[in-house]
Amino acid sequence: MCEKPKTANFDHARQAVLDEIAQDGRILIEPPPMVSVAELADSSVNRQVWDWAQTPDFLAVKLALPKRLKTRLDAEGISIPFPQQDVHMFQQN
């Protein structure tokens, strides 16, 4: 039997993201990282993550962070919704 993922409330997801960011020494603490709601979409609440790094570290952080955040959110039981569509087919005689 499959276990349902925890309902992802914004504060839980936000804190998980901030905790993961804090573990990366390349990300600056000033200005502080931010996580905010960017959009209330059809199937999701889209979040915007802002973090800052020194210029030499920028690309490495930009490329590594999404995978690390996805791994962390999965570990926390926070699912990332994706659009779904049900198609019902009926046969007419």
Rounded mean pLDDT, 52-77: 95
The C-alpha atoms of residue 82 and residue 73 are separated, in whole angstroms, by 15
Q: Is 2 helix (H, G, I), strand (E, B) or coil?
A: coil
pTM: 0.75
User: Which 8-state DSSP code applies to residue 40?
Assistant: E
On the question of pLDDT at 25 being above 60, the answer is yes
The C-alpha atoms of residue 41 and residue 80 are separated, in whole angstroms, by 13
What pLDDT does residue 71 have?
95
The predicted-structure confidence for 47-64, as pLDDT tens digits, reads as follows: 899 999 999 999 999 999
Give the gyration radius of the chain's Cα atoms. Answer: 18
Domains belonging to the chain, first-starting first, are 10-74 (3.30.70.100)
